[in-house]
Structure 1
């Protein structure tokens, strides 16, 4: 038990419209890195967060809606 209060255990807040790049290893079933414009966060499971949004091409062109299980550490690092 961490009596100091682990900040990583708290709720993750990502404003809609935030754009993050997720490496292949930052996704539960990642095949390649992606850019994602986040619409909303879904379920949270252990060290993973379901992220819903739009995949973007490298130039920012929307490529369609996606749901990605993203590593919480990667999401926090992308927001820092």
Structure 2
């Protein structure tokens, strides 16, 4: 499983990042690039479905969804919790 590539695929399926998700660096601000609060909720739901995890309230914040790197770190943490 390549978490980063899966995140890029999910981002690419959103209106804000269609056709350009592969051009984003891991540290580009997704909010500066067009992600809004509605889009971040859609992104969270898609991530939960893809990775079979549930984001706890503590991770439901702008920082968790601000970059591909922050999303990857949050998802990896959740996957590791599920495996433990």
More helix by share: 2
Q: TM-score, normalised by structure 2?
A: 0.29
Select the structure with the greater relative contact order (CA < 8 A; seq sep ≥ 6): 2
More strand by share: 1
